[in-house]
């Protein structure tokens, strides 16, 4: 309680005053002498992904008290994907600043970060990494699956699939309304391998959760037991002074990247891992990550790359089952929040059992990692594609560009019956990058033009400087860097240009010569977006590109510690 005293010029008086106020809430001196465990309470009526917060808090506080600590929860920002305009990503860095500064400002010996929905876990890990205290992540857990006319459904791969059917007029308004009632069957995060599930698995792979902390669904007893254990471990971490810098090491980030590739994880996972690593002083080497992908198969059979849902993964043993298969590729000596290594925790988890969700290493659902990195004159700083969710027939493809200048242009013209577009064209969307939109929205999953969808076209090559939801599928090139809004080559693509994609060669090429591109750039110079005031001004002035995690430049660690992965 005597940490970080408010400045009144008299330390004794500051502590006296603080204790007087907290005693107003009924605390005794004996309670205040315990290790203080701060808890970020991210419950919000706008965030059903965190809708189990009251139960989680109760179980977590029980664990803290059992181990002799004092739990102190406090509110921070809470961000839900569907309730954040213009995009939740615009607020991720703000939430990380909120989390970091409240950890710094308030007295605590360790912090429990409760998060689940896509941007919350990255924001919390970024903030905690910068704050430097002992920290432990508690995931809210996935939602249950629902049933539409006896077909199992869950957000949000099935949301997109059914919406595609509705657009193609395969189902009517009444049926799509029925589907809407079934897609989210309980509180909790999306039930497929979207960004939330990806970040839950990454948090466990980083060693930032208790063992088994990634997979229990939100409303289960297992999730509450994870919460209780998290409380216990938080107190032990506080006593042992197990700082986050001992856990978020280069080895931990490498383990997390292995897992990202092996689960067919969301492409957003790369952006978030890059940002978290950046807070610890590490730069992500996309070339090395791509090499790592060549030797890391996708083993997890979850939508959108496979068939199952998060609750099935949990029934199959969760992360322990996956990590057992990946063991030869992992740094087993990486430390976790329990004070034991990843290898020790895997040993403690036992031998495993027969199941159908995590494939054996030699029988993968996809022979390489889920994500491939592309380079070329269209993306000098790199671009990525989720190859495990792409159409194999389109992964080697050359086509004519059909260009949309921004999201508004896309909305206006994509369904125009007069749009000059064919199934083998390549749809290009500009200005949805970090500065362009701003906030790099998940608009990279361009819809198939209605007239083509009605004709049965399910996939086309699509390219943008934006992101895509981890729940989406298709042959979609994302994170083109530098983005159009800062004058990247994407800014100068025109309808009718030819583009060649070769995932095998890791290439994305605009088949227009340099002289013509230079002429276009001179004729139409890009004016970077600005804002007059407020958070938007800060955002536009300081946000970095995708290859630096779309973090604010002033939040990255000032001391650089090298590159990750080193594979
Ligand atoms: Fe929260 Fe999908 S909307 S995890």
Give 460-474 as a 3 state SS string: CEEEECCCCCCCCCC
Q: Which residues contact 486 (CB under 8 A, 6 or more apart)?
A: 433, 435, 526, 528, 545
Return the ligand 1 atom nearest residue 194 CA: 2
Return the ligand 1 atom nearest residue 197 CA: 4
Residue 189 C-alpha to ligand 1 middle, in angstroms?
Answer: 5
Q: Does the CB atom of residue 497 touch ligand 1 within 6 A?
A: no
Burial class (CB in 10 A: 0-12, 13-18, 19+), 451: middle
Residue 81 C-alpha to ligand 1 middle, in angstroms?
Answer: 6
Return the ligand 1 atom nearest residue 469 CA: 2
User: 46 in helix, strand or coil?
Assistant: coil
For residues 209 and 489, what is the distance between their CA atoms, to the nearest angstrom? 41
For residues 220 and 186, what is the distance between their CA atoms, to the nearest angstrom? 11
Q: Does the CB atom of residue 437 touch ligand 1 within 6 A?
A: no
Q: Does the CB atom of residue 154 touch ligand 1 within 6 A?
A: no
Query: Which residues, in sequence order, are bridge partners of residue 373?
Result: 384
pLDDT, residue 567, reads 67
Residue 70 C-alpha to ligand 1 middle, in angstroms?
Answer: 31
The 3-state DSSP composition of the chain as helix, strand, coil percent (nearest 5) reads 40, 15, 45
Q: Which residues contact 246 (CB under 8 A, 6 or more apart)?
A: 335
User: 416 in helix, strand or coil?
Assistant: coil
For residues 66 and 69, what is the distance between their CA atoms, to the nearest angstrom? 8
Per-residue pLDDT of the chain (567 residues; tens, 9 = 90+): 888 888 888 889 999 999 999 999 999 999 999 999 999 999 999 999 999 999 999 999 999 999 999 999 999 999 999 999 999 999 999 999 999 999 999 999 999 999 999 999 999 999 999 999 999 999 999 999 999 999 999 998 889 889 989 988 999 999 999 999 999 999 999 999 999 999 999 999 999 999 999 999 999 999 999 999 999 999 999 999 999 999 999 999 999 999 999 999 999 999 999 999 999 999 999 999 999 999 999 999 998 888 999 999 999 999 999 999 999 999 999 999 999 999 999 999 999 999 999 999 999 999 998 899 999 999 999 999 999 888 999 999 999 999 999 999 999 999 999 999 999 999 999 999 999 989 999 999 999 999 999 999 999 999 999 999 877 789 999 999 999 999 999 999 999 999 999 999 999 999 999 999 999 999 999 999 999 999 999 999 999 999 999 999 999 999 999 999 986
CA nearest ligand 1 atom 1, residue: 117
Q: Which residue blocks in 286-405 are alpha helix, DSSP H?
A: 286-294, 310-315, 319-326, 342-348
Q: Does the CB atom of residue 129 touch ligand 1 within 6 A?
A: no
Residue 53 C-alpha to ligand 1 middle, in angstroms?
Answer: 15
Q: Which residues contact 12 (CB under 8 A, 6 or more apart)?
A: none
Q: Does the CB atom of residue 139 touch ligand 1 within 6 A?
A: no
Return the ligand 1 atom nearest residue 82 CA: 3
Q: Which residues contact 198 (CB under 8 A, 6 or more apart)?
A: 260, 263, 265, 266, 268, 269, 470
| Angular region, 538: left φ>0, alpha ψ -120 to 50, beta rest | alpha
Q: Does the CB atom of residue 200 touch ligand 1 within 6 A?
A: no
CA nearest ligand 1 atom 3, residue: 81
pLDDT, residue 286, reads 95
Q: Does the CB atom of residue 312 touch ligand 1 within 6 A?
A: no
pLDDT, residue 8, reads 84
Q: Which residue blocks in 424-493 are alpha helix, DSSP H?
A: 450-454
Angle ∠(231,236,239) on CA atoms, nearest 5: 130
Q: Does the CB atom of residue 190 touch ligand 1 within 6 A?
A: yes
Angle ∠(155,161,166) on CA atoms, nearest 5: 115
- DSSP class of residue 186 equals S
E strands present in 405-497 = 426-429, 461-464, 476-478
Return the ligand 1 atom nearest residue 48 CA: 1
* C-alpha distances in Å from residue 192, one per residue of 218, 221, 373, 402: 14, 20, 23, 31
Residues 142/190, Cβ–Cβ less than 8 Å: yes
Q: What is the value of pTM for the model shown? A: 0.96
- Torsion sign (Cα): 236, 241, 243, 249: negative
User: 365 in helix, strand or coil?
Assistant: coil
Longest Cα separation, the chain: 76
- DSSP class of residue 121 equals H
Q: How far apart are the first and last CA of the chain?
A: 44
Q: Which residues contact 542 (CB under 8 A, 6 or more apart)?
A: 552, 553, 554
For residues 51 and 141, what is the distance between their CA atoms, to the nearest angstrom? 10
For residues 364 and 361, what is the distance between their CA atoms, to the nearest angstrom? 6
Pocket mutation for ligand 1, best pick of 189, 265, 471 (most atoms within 8 Å of C-beta): 189
Q: Does the CB atom of residue 80 touch ligand 1 within 6 A?
A: yes
Q: Does the CB atom of residue 98 touch ligand 1 within 6 A?
A: no
Q: Does the CB atom of residue 48 touch ligand 1 within 6 A?
A: no
pLDDT, residue 388, reads 85
Residues 477/485, Cβ–Cβ less than 8 Å: no
* C-alpha distances in Å from residue 211, one per residue of 168, 319, 348, 473, 536: 44, 8, 10, 30, 39
Q: Does the CB atom of residue 442 touch ligand 1 within 6 A?
A: no
Query: Residue 411 CB: number of other CB atoms within 10 A?
Result: 12
CA nearest ligand 1 atom 2, residue: 190
For residues 346 and 259, what is the distance between their CA atoms, to the nearest angstrom? 15
User: 457 in helix, strand or coil?
Assistant: coil
pLDDT, residue 106, reads 96
């Amino acid at each position: 309680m005597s940490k970080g005293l408010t400045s009144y010029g008299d330390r004794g008086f500051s502590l006296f005053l603080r204790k007087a106020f907290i005693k107003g809430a009924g605390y005794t001196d004996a309670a205040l002498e315990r290790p203080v465990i701060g808890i970020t309470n991210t419950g919000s009526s706008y965030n059903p992904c965190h809708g189990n917060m009251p139960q989680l808090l109760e179980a977590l506080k029980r664990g803290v008290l059992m181990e002799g600590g004092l739990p102190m929860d406090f509110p921070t920002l809470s961000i839900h994907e569907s309730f954040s305009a213009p995009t939740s990503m615009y607020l991720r860095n703000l939430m990380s600043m909120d989390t970091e500064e409240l950890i710094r400002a308030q007295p605590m010996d360790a912090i429990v970060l409760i998060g689940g929905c896509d941007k919350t876990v990255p924001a919390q890990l970024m903030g905690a990494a910068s704050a430097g205290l002992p920290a432990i992540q508690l995931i809210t857990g996935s939602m249950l699956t629902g049933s539409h006319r006896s077909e199992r459904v869950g957000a949000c791969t099935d949301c997109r699939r059914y919406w595609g059917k509705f657009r193609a007029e395969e189902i009517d308004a009444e049926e799509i309304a029925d589907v809407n009632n079934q897609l989210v069957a309980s509180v909790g995060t999306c039930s497929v391998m979207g960004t939330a599930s990806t970040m839950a698995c990454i948090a466990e792979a980083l060693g930032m959760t208790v063992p088994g902390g990634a997979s229990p669904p939100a409303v289960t007893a297992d999730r509450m037991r994870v919460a209780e254990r998290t409380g216990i471990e938080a107190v032990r971490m506080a006593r042992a002074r197990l700082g986050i810098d001992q856990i978020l090491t280069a080895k931990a980030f490498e383990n997390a990247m292995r897992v990202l590739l092996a689960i067919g994880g969301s492409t957003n996972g790369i952006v978030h891992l890059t940002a978290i690593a950046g807070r610890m002083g590490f730069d992500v080497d996309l070339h090395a990550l791509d090499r790592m992908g060549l030797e890391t198969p996708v083993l997890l059979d979850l939508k959108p790359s496979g068939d199952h849902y998060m609750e099935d993964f949990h029934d199959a043993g969760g992360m322990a089952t996956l990590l057992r298969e990946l063991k030869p590729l992992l740094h087993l000596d990486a430390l976790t929040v329990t004070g034991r290594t990843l290898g020790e925790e895997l040993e403690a988890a036992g031998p495993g059992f027969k199941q159908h969700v995590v494939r054996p290493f030699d029988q993968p659902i996809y022979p390489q990692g889920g994500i491939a990195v592309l380079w070329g004159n269209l993306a000098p700083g790199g671009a990525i594609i989720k190859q495990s969710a792409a159409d194999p027939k389109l992964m080697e493809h050359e086509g004519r560009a059909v260009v949309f200048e921004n999201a508004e242009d896309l909305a206006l013209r994509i369904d125009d019956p007069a749009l000059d577009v064919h199934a083998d064209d390549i749809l290009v969307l500009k200005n949805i990058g970090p500065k362009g939109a701003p906030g790099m929205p998940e608009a990279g999953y361009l819809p198939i033009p209605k007239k083509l969808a009605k004709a049965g076209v399910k996939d086309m090559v699509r390219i943008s400087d934006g992101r895509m939801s981890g729940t989406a599928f298709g042959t979609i090139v994302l994170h083109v860097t530098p983005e159009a809004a800062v004058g990247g080559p994407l800014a100068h693509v025109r309808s009718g240009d030819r583009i060649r994609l070769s995932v095998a060669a890791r290439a994305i090429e605009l088949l227009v010569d340099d002289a013509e591109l230079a002429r276009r750039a001179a004729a139409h110079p890009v004016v970077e977006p600005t804002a007059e005031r407020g958070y938007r001004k800060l955002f536009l002035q300081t946000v970095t590109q995708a290859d630096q995690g779309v973090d604010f430049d002033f939040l990255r660690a000032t001391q650089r510690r090298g590159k990750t992965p080193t594979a």
